[in-house]
Structure 1
Amino acid sequence: MASHTALPVARTIADLRLTVSDWRRQGFTVGFVPTMGALHDGHLALVQEAGLRADRVVASVFVNPTQFAAHEDLDAYPRQETRDAELLAGAGCALMYAPSVEEMYPADATTTVSVGAPAEGLEGVARPEMFGGVALVVAKLLNQVRPDVAVFGEKDYQQLMVVRRLAIDLDIPTEIVGMPTVRDGHGLALSSRNAYLTGEEQTIARRLNGVLAEAAARTMTGRAVGDVEREAQEALLNAGFSHVDYVAVRKSENLRPFEGGIVDGPARVLAAAWLGRTRLIDNMAAG
């Protein structure tokens, strides 16, 4: 769909399902990309990937309040729906789903979703409210759209593990696809929160990718996981990050620690660090 074409927008579950049902009657398969808006090239790559895997693509734009703690940046989170619609149209999206908070969370709703193991540790410790909110909204969105395939970015690697577990455990028939992180020319993972960074902070942020790559390389030499994690954390602080929530080397398939403290299979190095008021996360495959 050309970027100058107005993108249809569904604001209610009923309107969304009406459109998707019409596609189904025509024999089309459906792809889905959930977003919180403030779209960048990373999101658009997910939409394009979904377009390769399905005939029609729905992208949701919904800043999900249940995954923010009271002290986090819900109110400040960037919102730019008109621009998002133009970008989605240019990427081949066929429908934007932009429900209100009231549509997604009626006042009498009481159900919560807890995924368990994949949500524990790392982000689950640093942001304990987040994965319950993510699991709930993703379960609702997958049930509302009922897509054949949904595409998620690997930048939020633990979130991808949570969503995969959720889909398996709740018998949701959607194929969950993870797509490699999209980075800028300096290796910084694209994120809507990068907009918060000053010019000086952007320069520092671009070291994160390099530190993770160095840590991933060290794990392959048989170096103890604890040493790799400690050295990477020190490297981030020396690079100018104000605080490091964690650097962790975990098993790729389930994010569990390596027994014995030595990497003996596919691994991920994951990190979360602060620059001023901006929290950045990233990860790197090892092995």
Structure 2
Amino acid sequence: MQTVRQLADLREAIAAYRKAGERVALVPTMGALHAGHMALVEAAKRAADRVVVSIFVNPKQFGPNEDFSQYPRKELADSTMLSKAGVDLLWLPPVEVMYPEGFATNVSVSGVSETLDGAARPGHFDGVATVVSKLFNQVRPDTALFGEKDFQQLAVVRRMASDLDMGIDVVGVVTQRDDDGLALSSRNAYLMPEDRARAVALPRALGAAARTIEDGGDAQAALAQARDALAAAGFAVDYVELVDAETLGAPEKDRPGRLLAAARIGTTRLIDNIAVNLNKYG
């Protein structure tokens, strides 16, 4: 696996892939890799001839009171994991390469950014869209793979790539979970043992609400029950909402739905989501 930290070296490597007529897949990450990230890598290997993984802890998507300085950084372990998985190139840019002195551009995606995590974390999705647009321009992949766990992020990136005619196939990969159902996340490492045991209430509450809605039950009552279940487990709930899976707007009967939640247990904020069949909705 080739590891590069400077843009000129990255462009030289990508140019060689293109000269050989090879298809390129990008997996953007912030490191602290786990089985969820490796599922993205495996999907990328199936989709392209060459797999590029980026690791960059993006300061622009962290709020002033969030965990940027504490976010886990495991460069050596991550690099070893990616090399063993058959990744071709690891893109490890320093902050000064991504955001050189005088950097002044902000990318904002309206319509899918303002609600849910956008409301709870103002500016977060501008930071996501800005860094992903830079990664797309740097690597110029044919396809890019993102986990469905960050479902709103996936919607933001898809809208941006479409609106800006980037010509990149943005692919969502199903959420990877522990045996008890908790979605894999780099932030799970923050959980104290007792909080980890209680955290399983998050996927269970979403699952129960989804079953009620799919059976034609009252959606608002199901959402309220999910919030109550999370509170009873010790969570401070940011939101539990049912939305249209494409627009993230109001759900409609016979369209794909998505149930999304964010809640904090102890000092750790967790997010999760599941698909919901809305054939009996309303």
TM range (shorter): over 0.9
Q: Are the aligned partners of 2:201 and 2:229 in contact in 1 as well (CA < 8 Å)?
A: no
Instruction: Give CA deviations for 1:175-228 in whole Å, capped at 9, x if unaligned.
Output: 000000000111110000000001111111112111111111111132333222
1:255 aligns with 2:245: no
Identity of aligned residues (%): 52
User: Which residue of structure 1 aligns with residue 28 of structure 2?
Assistant: 34
Which of the residues 101, 104, 110 maps onto 2:98? 104
User: Which residue of structure 2 aligns with residue 84 of structure 1?
Assistant: 78
User: Which residue of structure 2 aligns with residue 194 of structure 1?
Assistant: 188
CA distance in 2, matches of 1:165, 1:181: 20
Which of the residues 242, 248, 259 maps onto 1:269? 259
Structure 2: gaps of 5 or more residues: 278-282
SS at match of 2:144: strand
Structural RMSD (CA): 1.0
Amino acid at match of 1:92: G
Amino acid at match of 1:249: L
CA distance in 2, matches of 1:90, 1:254: 38
SS at match of 2:198: helix
User: Which residue of structure 2 aligns with residue 285 of structure 1?
Assistant: 275
SS at match of 2:150: helix
Q: What is the Cα deviation at residue 92 of structure 1?
A: 1.8
Q: Mean alpha-carbon deviation: is it higher for 140-149 or for 248-257?
A: 248-257
Q: What is the Cα deviation at residue 264 of structure 1?
A: 4.4
CA distance in 1, matches of 2:201, 2:97: 41
Amino acid at match of 1:140: K
TM-score normalised by the chain length of structure 2? 0.96
1:124 aligns with 2:114: no
CA distance in 1, matches of 2:201, 2:238: 16
CA distance in 2, matches of 1:120, 1:218: 27
Which of the residues 144, 147, 161 maps onto 1:150? 144
1:234 aligns with 2:224: no
Structure 1: gaps of 5 or more residues: 1-6
Aligned residues: 277
**Alpha-carbon spacing, 1:264–1:29, altered in 2? closer, same or farther (3 Å):** closer
SS at match of 1:89: helix
CA distance in 2, matches of 1:39, 1:22: 27
1:217 aligns with 2:211: yes
CA distance in 1, matches of 2:206, 2:99: 38
TM-score normalised by the chain length of structure 1? 0.94
Instruction: Give CA deviations for 1:61-107 in whole Å, capped at 9, x if unaligned.
Output: 00000000111000000001011001111222111000000100011
SS at match of 1:88: helix
Instruction: Give CA deviations for 1:149-168 in whole Å, capped at 9, x if unaligned.
Output: 10000000000000000000
CA distance in 2, matches of 1:232, 1:149: 36
Q: Are the aligned partners of 1:13 and 1:144 in contact in 2 as well (CA < 8 Å)?
A: yes
Q: What is the Cα deviation at residue 253 of structure 1?
A: 1.6
Which of the residues 200, 204, 207 maps onto 2:201? 207
Q: Are the aligned partners of 2:33 and 2:186 in contact in 1 as well (CA < 8 Å)?
A: yes
